[in-house]
Structure 1
Amino acid sequence: MYTEPHKHLPGPLLVVAALTIALAATACGDTASPTPAAVVTECPSSPIPPGRPVPAQGAPPRIVVPVDTSTSTVLNPGTAPQIQCGRTPISTRADVAYATVPLPGGQTKQLAMDIQVPQTAGRKPLVVYVPGGGFVMADKGGNLALRTFVAEAGYVVASIQYRVQPDGATYADSISDVKAAIRYLRAHAADYDINPNTVGVWGDSAGGYLAAMTGVTNGDKRFDIGADLNQPSDVQAVIDKFGASDLSRLQSDFDPDTQQAMAPLLASTAKYVNGPTSTTPLTADPTAVAQANPITHIHPTDPPFAIFHGSEDTTISPSQTLILHNALIAAGVNSTRYI
């Protein structure tokens, strides 16, 4: 279930447009010393990480409920290539360590990020990219083509690692890691030409879920753990691409065979919510699941959201982002959902 493609995704140009609207890109200060920049004529592809799970064989998953588009903008993205790179030189700094975090058993893990900086004058808005991976992996090398495209549009893009369920992590640990990365980048804003006042978080799938949770927990100090605590972890914009919201209903919209095939995912997700040693299913503790749901944390002052979901996504049902979008709108938050 972790590698089934997310279908009929809307145009990448809208990701940049949404960021541009949400983040007021103001230039301030001088640039840091220039570093060697890579100029590409084609958008680079991401390597396939080792150990990626193989999709289960059998009948393809089917969504058996209608896709609700009543509060969303419906797009037809077409099939032609939508992005092109090579407009702007990009400097990339790989494997920048940003935190050392605890693991069960007294061990620790060093988390790193890859940072792309457009070689243009002035400070730039920052986008922290949170990769997906079904809560079991977090490959910071993923989605390189679109990250490069966004960087060339004038954003510093930092793709981050974070703790996942096989590390013994819970969702709260992953959120803390995202916020630690944001604080680190604000503390080192001058090193990467970042305007620390304009920070967005962008994620796909599991990363979309974590991006949403990061946005709705602005100011919640329970998730600010680690270094650079003199820096805020708040964000000014959220881009949620086909992220989950209600983890207890991940299988609800699918046919019976698919629901049965999703059992291992649900068991892993239950540990991600309740803790690595827990045997409690997601449905057995509604309070814990509610705390892991971004709608529980929504506040009218939350940053603007742009939400994207494919109408034929058979990994994360479109209803997952609909739940979040409608709750944001009801609370008075600026949210736009594209289907």
Structure 2
Amino acid sequence: MAYPEIKKIDYNPSLKGLAHIYPDIVYSLAQRSGTKMTIISPQIPEDSQEKYPCIVFVQGSGWTFPNIYYQIPQLSQLAAKGYVIATITHRNSLEGHPWPACFEDVKTAIRFMRAKSEEYHIDSDRIGIWGTSSGGNMALLAGLTADDPNYRTEEYADFSDRVKLVVDCFGPADLLQREARLENPTPVDIALAGGNPKENLDVVKDMSPIYKVKEGMAYPPFLLVQGNNDEPVPYEQSLNMFHKLCDCGADARMIEVNHGPHEGTFWSQELLDLIFGFIMERL
């Protein structure tokens, strides 16, 4: 009998193209239960000395508690390309943690990745941040406030929270322009501001990346991505932020998703490939 030809392929000693998940890693003790992240890493041979660039990913949650599982399938694509991804939780504003508690956690997560760079095979000089919605807001802020003592906790204080790249997807950039939320604040708005936001406009301004941009500063590259049919975060928020960055000499790029809403059908493989391309080119 003539059998079909057997296809032969080489084995994969470098484990290239494969990913591994480390779940529920406590990176901060700012709350009693511990604040956790999940790390998605390339699969790494035991004897490897290779170091990989790292992305800290902050899922949008309205500054409450992120669902870190929402983007794990997509982030795993990037991990398989040779990036260590830390998708993080942070303190929930509705549980008695006003601003800047959640942002302090984002900064702590960046320092944690540097502190654990040997353990997770991270190139500590190549750490970037990517966030969506409220996570995008904090990603922008992280890129604009490198090593700012106003947001530094004692955890891993000897390490820098500087990032080398920022990707922001539909993050609010100017919260002072959200007049409807200022006039009729939600419970989250009140929790973040520590009271009526209209009586705590200094906090609202501190949360707004657009007011942090200064001419002549050495900022990392920024990629802003926004749908033009986004109701919670109007397109103009990202457009004005993009213009402000460019006007102040920053290296900024922007992608407009036609008919793109907030999450959901905003996403496509085409968009992910553009974001991955920016990360792979700049980090």
8 Å contact kept, 2:52–2:123: yes
1:281-338: CA deviation from partner (whole Å, max 9, x where unpaired): x344443322221122224212111010111112211111122211111211111111
Compute the TM-score of the two structures, normalised by the length of structure 1.
0.65
Q: Which runs of 4+ in 1 moved over 4 A?
A: none
Report the equivalent of 1:180.
Answer: 108
- 1:269 partnered with 2:196: no
Query: Superposition pairs for residues 17-96 of structure 1, below 5 Å?
Result: 88-96=17-25
Distance 2:59 2:175 in 1: 18
**Aligned amino acid, residue 148 of structure 1:** S
- 1:298 partnered with 2:213: yes
Q: Per chain length, whose mean CA-contact separation is higher, i.e. which structure has more relative contact order (CA < 8 Å, sep 6+)?
A: 1
- 1:337 partnered with 2:265: no
Distance 1:199 1:325 in 2: 22
- Is the alpha carbon distance of 1:225 and 1:152 closer, same or farther for their aligned partners in structure 2, counting shifts above 3 Å? same
Shift of 1:264: 5.5
Report the more deviating stretch, 235-244 or 168-177.
168-177
Report the equivalent of 2:91.
Answer: 163
- Is the alpha carbon distance of 1:285 and 1:112 closer, same or farther for their aligned partners in structure 2, counting shifts above 3 Å? closer
8 Å contact kept, 1:244–1:250: no
> Identity, % of aligned pairs?
26
Report the equivalent of 1:110.
Answer: 34
SS at match of 1:309: strand
1:33-73: CA deviation from partner (whole Å, max 9, x where unpaired): x9xx8xxxxxxxxxxxxxxxxxxxxxxxxxxxxxxxxxxxx
Instruction: Select the residue among 282, 288, 313 that pairs with 2:203.
Output: 288
Distance 2:52 2:82 in 1: 7
8 Å contact kept, 2:130–2:166: yes
**Aligned amino acid, residue 138 of structure 1:** P
**Aligned amino acid, residue 246 of structure 1:** D
Distance 1:91 1:125 in 2: 15
- Is the alpha carbon distance of 1:164 and 1:314 closer, same or farther for their aligned partners in structure 2, counting shifts above 3 Å? same
SS at match of 1:213: helix
CA RMSD, aligned part only?
2.2
Report the equivalent of 1:101.
Answer: 30
Query: Superposition pairs for residues 174-323 of structure 1, below 5 Å?
Result: 174-250=102-178, 263=184, 265=186, 267-272=187-192, 274-275=193-194, 278=195, 280=196, 282-299=197-214, 300-323=217-240
1:205-225: CA deviation from partner (whole Å, max 9, x where unpaired): 111011111111112112110
Compute the TM-score of the two structures, normalised by the length of structure 2.
0.77
Distance 2:210 2:67 in 1: 26
Shift of 1:140: 2.0
Distance 1:287 1:185 in 2: 31
**Aligned amino acid, residue 123 of structure 2:** N
**Aligned amino acid, residue 82 of structure 2:** G
Distance 1:154 1:111 in 2: 26
Distance 2:240 2:198 in 1: 18
Structure 2: 5+ residue runs without aligned partners?
Answer: 1-12, 257-283
SS at match of 1:207: helix
- Is the alpha carbon distance of 1:323 and 1:286 closer, same or farther for their aligned partners in structure 2, counting shifts above 3 Å? farther
Report the more deviating stretch, 156-165 or 309-318.
309-318
SS at match of 1:93: strand
SS at match of 2:100: helix
1:16-43: CA deviation from partner (whole Å, max 9, x where unpaired): xxxxxxxxxxxxxxxxxx9xx8xxxxxx
Report the equivalent of 1:64.
Answer: none
Distance 1:167 1:286 in 2: 21
Shift of 1:249: 2.7
Report the more deviating stretch, 171-180 or 296-305.
296-305
SS at match of 1:94: strand
Distance 2:91 2:116 in 1: 22
Shift of 1:270: 3.6
Query: Superposition pairs for residues 7-22 of structure 1, below 5 Å?
Result: none
SS at match of 1:239: strand
- Is the alpha carbon distance of 1:125 and 1:203 closer, same or farther for their aligned partners in structure 2, counting shifts above 3 Å? same
8 Å contact kept, 1:250–1:316: no
Distance 1:244 1:251 in 2: 13
SS at match of 1:319: helix
